[in-house]
Structure 1
Amino acid sequence: MNNIVTAIVLAAGQGKRMNTPVAKQFLCLRDKPVIYYSLKAFEESCVDRIILVTGKEQVEYCREHIVDQYHFKKVTQVIEGGKERYDSVWQALRHAETSDYVLIHDGARPFIQSKLIDTIIEKVIEYKACVVGTHVKETVKVVDKQGYIIDTPDRDTLWSAQTPQAFEYNTLIKAYTEFYMGNQKDELGITDDAMVFARYAKLPIKMIEGDYSNLKLTTLEDLTLAEVILSRLLCE
């Protein structure tokens, strides 16, 4: 029996650090919105369906001007997200109840490639939980609250986590349910799904080598770099 794989693409963030009137996932990159590129990659991958999570005011816009306009057949649902990232994931998980595996991706990472998505699908079936990442290039310092260096971790053990992050659905929804049953959500500093999974499922998570071009657009400077990356990808 075939596994059902659902991609959850998050596009509900405000992108305040970008300091633009339009949310970063809807900014134009070569005449197409940023969110188009990640949706296209998932559309061309082996995922079975896509749930797009966006802000309340953008739900109809996304349906008409992104999903319909660009003919994304695998986008089966466009839903309203929540206040925090984990709220949006929680909403999407409850709409993905027939899934065997889920891939969770930041819509502000437009350069994820279908080939890497397919690799992640293979790996999550094997390991039950995995995260895309890249080796840290720079030497990393740990500092105290006063700004003094207190440690220099071994760079060989350090990775920058990216998305997609992929999990066996039943295990992840149980972890998120336990997370939401608690009353310390704001105190835990949860910034990605692997943190929820590690804390509540208490199972190992496999790191899968990704691509340095899988950039998350955060600042205006990232848009300049994105143009360069897109030019290179279009030439390949």
Structure 2
Amino acid sequence: MKSNYAVIVAAGKGKRMKMPINKQFICIQGKPILYYSISVFSKNPIVDKIVLVCAEDEIEYCKQEIVKKYDFNKVVKIVSGGKERQDSVFNALKVLENCNVVLIHDGARPFVTDRIIEDGIKYSNMYGACACGVVPKDTIKIKGKEGFSYKTLERKELFTVQTPQCFNYDLIYDCHKKLANNKVQVTDDTTVAEYFGNRVYLYEGSYDNIKITTPEDLIIAENIFKIHKYI
């Protein structure tokens, strides 16, 4: 029987955080952000295995201070990140064995939930590719070259994509392989799938499922912990 894998990408340096350490290792409520991101997948019964992607010079630290320290037995491999995010993801996809669905998740999103994970697996099995997200709260305008607004977009038609982004393994592996050969740059994995003609189903994420990117996000994250008492 094939396995469901989570690929957790934690190879970025997070320059916008303006701190001397990788943002995934910053502590919230006494534990690193990456701990929380891994923990939910580790505890979920329908996620079988986890592959962690780290910067090459941080692999040993992740192994000792994250995986072993917190007894994350589902983490079967830690692989080195690449030059771009898409390279990091492809490095992970290449080591997955006998995989059914792969959930690709940002290491800096600590508030993913079991419901989001399980919906991702369900819709991947139904449609081949899916991603969670939310309708933006703000009005979105298109800004012209001279600085003036020239169009207001219909908010109900817009969708802020989050992670995990979830796929049939063969589909997303083949797309990443072709992308590497084409030397095209993308910002996320749904774009990889769409670039080669695949449709991506969009399902409900959570406004709490933030990506911690700037110092202001740390304040928001602390408040989310206080309100919802994430473990």
Q: Same fold (TM over 0.5)?
A: yes
Matched residues in 1 for 2:203 and 2:109: separation?
Answer: 17
8 Å contact kept, 2:2–2:98: no
Asked if 1:228 corresponds to 2:228, the answer is no
- Alpha-carbon distance in 1 for matches of 2:163, 2:169: 16
Flag the 1:15–1:157 CA change in 2: closer, same or farther, 3 A.
Answer: same
Distance change >3 Å, CA 235–CA 163, structure 1 → 2: closer
Aligned to 1:215: 210
Q: Which residue of 2 aligns with 1:128?
A: 128
- Counterparts in 2 of 1:61-80, with a 5 A limit? 61-80=61-80
Q: CA shift at 1:235, angstroms?
A: 7.1
1:8 aligns with 2:24: no
Indicate if the aligned counterparts of 2:6 and 2:105 stay in contact, CA closer than 8 A: yes
Instruction: Give distance in 1, aligned partners of 2:87 and 2:23.
Output: 19
Residues 1:33 and 2:32 are matched in the alignment: yes
TM-score, normalization: structure 1? 0.94
CA separation of 1:47 and 1:62: change in aligned 2, threshold 3 A: same
Q: SS of the counterpart of 1:61? A: helix
Q: Deviations over 1:6-59 (max 9, x none)?
A: 100000000000000011100011110000001000001121100000011110
Write the distance in 2 (CA, Å) between the matches of 1:171 and 1:5: 14
- The C-alpha deviation readout for 1:148-196, integer Å capped at 9, x for no partner, is 212111111001000000011111111111111113x24xxx1100001
Structure 1, unaligned stretches of length 5 or more?
Answer: none
For residues 46-97 of structure 1, give each alpha carbon's deviation from its aligned partner in whole angstroms, at most 9, with x where no partner exists. 2110000001111011111110110111100011111111110010010114
53-62 or 142-151, larger mean C-alpha shift: 142-151
Q: Structure 1 runs of 4+ off > 6 angstroms?
A: none
Tell me what 2:141 maps to: 141
Determine the structure 1 residue equivalent to 2:81.
81
Are 2:4 and 1:18 aligned? no
Give the letter for the 1:220 counterpart: P
In the alignment, the residues of structure 2 paired with residue 218 and residue 146 of structure 1 have an alpha-carbon distance, to the nearest angstrom, of 29
Give the deviation of 1:118 after TM superposition. 1.5
The Cα shift of 1:98 comes to 2.0
Aligned to 1:44: 43
Alignment of 1:61-210 (within 5 A): 61-183=61-183, 185-186=184-185, 190-200=186-196, 202-210=197-205
Verify the 8 A CA contact 2:5 2:48 in the aligned structure 1: yes
SS at match of 1:76: strand
What is the rounded CA distance, in whole Å, between the counterparts of 1:235 and 1:55 in structure 2? 27
- More off after superposition, 119-128 vs 26-35: 119-128
Q: Post-superposition shift, 1:3?
A: 3.8
What RMSD in Å do the two structures reach over aligned CA positions?
A: 1.3
Structure 2 regions of 5+ residues with no counterpart? none
Task: State the alpha-carbon separation in 2 of the partners of residues 150 and 104 from structure 1.
Answer: 36
SS in 2 for 1:100: strand
Structure 1 SS opposite 2:198 = coil
Report Cα offsets for 1:83-132 as digits up to 9, x if no partner: 11111001001011421111000000011112321121112111111000
